[in-house]
Amino acid sequence: MAEPRDFRRGHILQPATGGAVELAQGGTIVVFKTALVYYHRTMKHYRTRAVWATQVIAAVVVTAFLLAGCAEPEEALRVAAAESHRDYVFGLNSHQLSATSAGSRWLDASVRVFSDSTRVMPPFVETLHLDPLTIPVVGYEFPGTLGQRIDIEVDSELEGYFVDVFKLEGERSGRLVSSNPRYPEPLHSWVADSAQFSFEPDETGRYLLRIQPRLLEGGEMTVSILPDAALEWPVPGTDQRQIWSYFGAPRAGGARVHHGIDIFAPRGTPMVAVSNSDVMRVGERQLGGNIVTLSDQKRDLRIYYAHLDEQLVEQGSRVETGNVIGTVGNTGNALLTPPHLHIGIYQAHWRRPVDPWYFFVAPDRTTYPPGPLDYQVGSWLRTTTEVEPVRYPAARSGVIQSPARFDAIGEPVDAEQVAPSAQPVGAPISGPLSSGTALRLMGARRGFYRVALPTGEQGYVPRHTVTAALDPLEVVVASETLPVYVNPDVTSDVTAQFSAGQQVAVLARFGERYGLVLRGGGRAAWIDLAHSGLSG
């Protein structure tokens, strides 16, 4: 059988764990690949024929594998392009591929991320390797705050992958809001036909980003999650340092609550529309003095400007982001205070005031690139000292927390509604690993490598604790035929053997019993160091 290859890059792939997925020889895979490429090109112009085209491609592939005499065509079967992850799942189910080993593992991986994701703090960037032979999927759990915009970028030459964002319930990942636990409904879906997309959380909480390639597709990508303020800053020439009064503060001796923030600036300073909106009202109120109210229908927000000196828009008109709508003043009940803009934001109706802080105060979006990779992503490393891999490193957020301490009714702010500023280190994925332990490099972020244990679990180790598994740790001699295993487990498949008298270079270890070796073609495999047919 031919070695599996990455068709995008043209190099031989090595599985991190589990048996190698054997593909059909020669013409079979060419027939499939040609049909798949043709289908992808066609889909750009004929999206509405997705179901029909999927059926045609599936039929071509199954027929080709049957003609090639492969016992398990599902192991190399890919379903054609779809408009969403859900469409792809529908295709798997429609052709009974979800019952095959590859299809079942792909579906299991797609939901496993809800309980086995990596917690990160935006701004975040990571380069990673998705191994097509191990049913790859990656999940990032991150905080999202009402008022923010989250920009997600994926830089990759790979085309066959799906990006979905889900809302998680509370602090506990794995529980989805109003979703089927097997095939949950995403808030946002994206097929890899553009470099980025953005969304705005409609409530503060935790969100999950899932990236999953199609069956037997994978490669390298760089993922960025970047937060920003959803709306334009309303008073050009000022910043959050000029906000001197916050949401929820008591007013009139506690008789009412401040439903906005106050931005102080000299009288006559222009103020602008914070979004593309309709002008709902231009008028005068007892407390607010000269006011302008905008309606942002896209976000279902009402935006209230008060204490204006001049009103420079007409009721019923349309304004674009950045248009001047008035000037700062101190009309209404602000006659005895310095000029300032009171701005309030209301969700859907006037009974739902929300803290405007995160809508306007932009977080720090500075990202620190993963830096130069000292080793090829996907290659084997070994530890140089004792180290304990963790699920995720400690991190700090770029968010500037709101100083508000009270909510819309004057009660103390619920801690879950405050944008987190830091994340503690995650739990270990294993016990301490001794020096010389084998790990596979799966990705990199600032100061850390994402690594996979030989058993498949992924976590992070500091960069300085590993090196390439190139030079032998030790050389042993096979005194009799020595089996070579796919996994560090004597019950796993035997993939090759060393002959009696053959020297074997052990590149790394896993525990005390198993040694990482290279078999024919330079592919990684394992030997039992406790085997009776070994001598030092």
Q: How far apart are CA 61 and CA 293, in angstroms?
A: 60
Please report the DSSP string for 48-97 in residue order: GGHHHHHHHHHHHHHHHHHHHT-S-GGGG------SSHHHHHHHHHHTTG
- Pairing state between β 438-445 and 380-383: antiparallel
Are the beta carbons of 185 and 219 closer than 8 angstroms? Answer: no
Are the beta carbons of 505 and 471 closer than 8 angstroms? Answer: no
Q: Which of 385-389, 409-413, 522-526 has the lowest mean pLDDT?
A: 522-526
DSSP summary character for residue 42: H
Phi-psi map region of 219: left, alpha, beta (phi>0 left; psi -120 to 50 alpha): left
Hey, how many other C-beta atoms are within 10 angstroms of the C-beta on 290? Answer: 20
Location of structure tokens 């993922």 = 223
Q: How far apart are CA 45 and CA 91, in angstroms?
A: 20
pLDDT at 75 over 60: no
Which one, of 43, 454, 447, lies nearest residue 214 by Cα? Answer: 43
Residues in the chain: 536
Location of structure tokens 């994701």 = 117
Location of structure tokens 């398990």 = 72
Mean local confidence (pLDDT), 525-535: 87
Hey, how many other C-beta atoms are within 10 angstroms of the C-beta on 299? Answer: 19
What is the fold of 114-231? Jelly Rolls (2.60.120)
pLDDT of residue 10: 26
Q: How far apart are CA 70 and CA 86, in angstroms?
A: 29
Q: How far apart are CA 52 and CA 24, in angstroms?
A: 25
Q: How far apart are CA 142 and CA 225, in angstroms?
A: 9
Question: Cβ-count burial of 242 within 10 angstroms (0-12 exposed, 13-18 middle, 19+ buried)?
Answer: middle
- The angle, 0 to 180 degrees and rounded to 10, between the axes of the packed helices 50-68 and 85-94 is 50
pLDDT of residue 71: 35
Q: What CATH number has the domain spanning 240-360?
A: 2.70.70.10
Hey, how many other C-beta atoms are within 10 angstroms of the C-beta on 167? Answer: 21
pLDDT of residue 181: 53
DSSP summary character for residue 433: B
pLDDT of residue 66: 38
Which long-range contacts link 409-415 to residues 24+ away (Cβ below 8 Å)?
A: 409/257, 410/248, 410/250, 410/254, 410/257, 413/248
Which residues touch 38 (CB under 8 Å, ≥6 apart)? none
pLDDT of residue 157: 82
The dihedrals phi and psi of 232, each to the nearest 5 degrees, come to -70, 145
pLDDT at 13 over 60: no
- Look at the alpha carbons of 287, 288, 289, 292 in this order and tell me if their dihedral is positive or negative: negative
Q: How far apart are CA 199 and CA 146, in angstroms?
A: 11
Q: Which of 175-184, 354-363, 434-443, 509-518 has the lowest mean pLDDT?
A: 175-184
Q: Residue 115's pLDDT band (boundaries 50, 70, 90)?
A: confident
pLDDT tens digit sequence for 374-396: 898 889 999 999 999 999 999 99
- Look at the alpha carbons of 252, 254, 259, 261 in this order and tell me if their dihedral is positive or negative: positive
pLDDT tens digit sequence for 122-171: 999 999 988 887 778 999 999 999 999 999 999 988 877 899 999 987 44
CATH 2.30.30.40 assigned to 368-389+426-468: yes
pLDDT of residue 182: 58
Q: Among residues of the chain, what percentage have pLDDT more than 70?
A: 81
Mean pLDDT over the full length of the chain: 83
Which one, of 219, 191, 262, 197, lies nearest residue 132 by Cα? Answer: 219
- 439 forms beta bridges with 381
**Same topology for domains 114-231 and 240-360, yes or no?**
no
Which long-range contacts link 9-12 to residues 24+ away (Cβ below 8 Å)?
A: 9/219, 12/521, 12/522, 12/523
Domain boundaries, the chain: 5-109, 114-231, 240-360, 368-389+426-468, 474-535
Are the beta carbons of 165 and 151 closer than 8 angstroms? Answer: no
Please compute, for residue 278, the number of CA atoms within 13 A of its CA located in the half-sphere on the CB side.
8
Are the beta carbons of 22 and 497 closer than 8 angstroms? Answer: no
- Strand 534-535's sheet: what is its strand order? 503-506, 474-478, 534-535
Mean local confidence (pLDDT), 494-504: 91
Q: Which of 20-29, 275-284, 460-469 has the lowest mean pLDDT?
A: 20-29
- 503 forms beta bridges with 477
Q: Residue 94's pLDDT band (boundaries 50, 70, 90)?
A: confident
Can you identify the CATH homologous superfamily of domain 474-535?
SH3 Domains (2.30.30.40)
CA 253 to chain centre: 46
Q: How far apart are CA 274 and CA 344, in angstroms?
A: 12
